[in-house]
Amino acid sequence: MQENHTFMENLDINEINSSFDRHIAMTETGLLNNAQSLDGLIIAQNVEDPDVIGQMQSAFNNFVETGQIWALIIGLVIGFGFRSLLPS
């Protein structure tokens, strides 16, 4: 078992990949259960804007402002039209 290190200290991508590959292989063969870990591996990421709801609102507003909502509605209407014309 490896010693605990501070975040991003002695990061070796080859070690991470081999540990992850070993975990996947053991999981696929049933040798690893959910209680076991990835040899103490911690996977993390930096989040620059944690406002997820705000990002979703902004994306939806952009969807409406650019007219993509109309393309979606028209596509659904045409799709259901074709569906009703074709034999099932």
Query: pLDDT tens across 24-64, in order?
Result: 656 555 555 544 555 566 677 787 888 899 999 999 999 99
19: CB partners within 8 A, 6+ apart? 38, 39, 41
49: CB partners within 8 A, 6+ apart? 55
pTM for the structure as a whole: 0.44
Distance CA 59, CA 28 (A): 37
Between the alpha carbon of residue 32 and those of residues 2, 18, 47, 72, the distances in Å are: 19, 16, 31, 44
pLDDT band at 75 (very low <50, low <70, confident <90, very high): very high
Distance CA 78, CA 73 (A): 9
